[in-house]
Amino acid sequence: MTPPQASPSGTSARGDTLPAVSLRLHVIRKRADFQRASRALRVAMPGFILQMRKRKSDEAEGIRVGFTCSKKVGNAVARNRAKRRLRAAARQVLPQQGKDGMDYVLIGRREATAALPFDQLCADLSSAVAKLQGKVT
């Protein structure tokens, strides 16, 4: 399946307008970045734990997000399913509510991340981001 192509007029093949800026989230991959986030603010929700860290001004721009699930979550299939759900929720929530210059790390929880309804997972992520951003200001 190929993605819809943008027309020269700035609308997609489906007719909706394209965003003015890229909404692509940058993924955290380095262990040091995960460790820095683990020392920052965090909030626990029923389906996940969210850690948020404000980056220094000399670091890269944009919203960065990382995902992790320990072996406590289950076997490889269960961990991958939990991370897929967290990635989908982050793609839906963070472009609108995330702040530029922040790192977000989502940690999956045993049985809860995969079992929660997706709408509830997104609502929890939205409220967790709002809580943490209220503490940063």
pLDDT at position 13 is 54
Per-residue tens of pLDDT for the chain, all 137 residues: 565 565 555 555 555 554 544 567 899 999 999 999 999 999 999 999 999 998 887 777 789 999 999 999 999 999 999 999 999 999 999 999 998 889 999 999 998 999 999 999 999 999 999 999 888 76
Question: How many whole angstroms separate alpha carbon 124 and alpha carbon 42?
Answer: 13
Which listed CATH number (3.40.1390.20, 3.30.230.10, 3.40.50.720, 1.10.3480.10) goes with 26-129? 3.30.230.10
Radius of gyration (C-alpha) of the chain in whole angstroms? 16
Q: What is the DSSP letter of 17?
A: B
Mean pLDDT of the chain: 85
For residue 23, how many other CB atoms are within 10 A of its CB?
Answer: 13
| pLDDT tens digits, one per residue of 68-88 | 999 999 999 999 999 999 999
Predicted pLDDT at 18: 47
CB of 89 within 8 A of CB of 118?
yes
Say if residues 122 and 45 touch (Cβ distance below 8 Å).
no
Helix (H) or strand (E) holding 41: strand 41-44
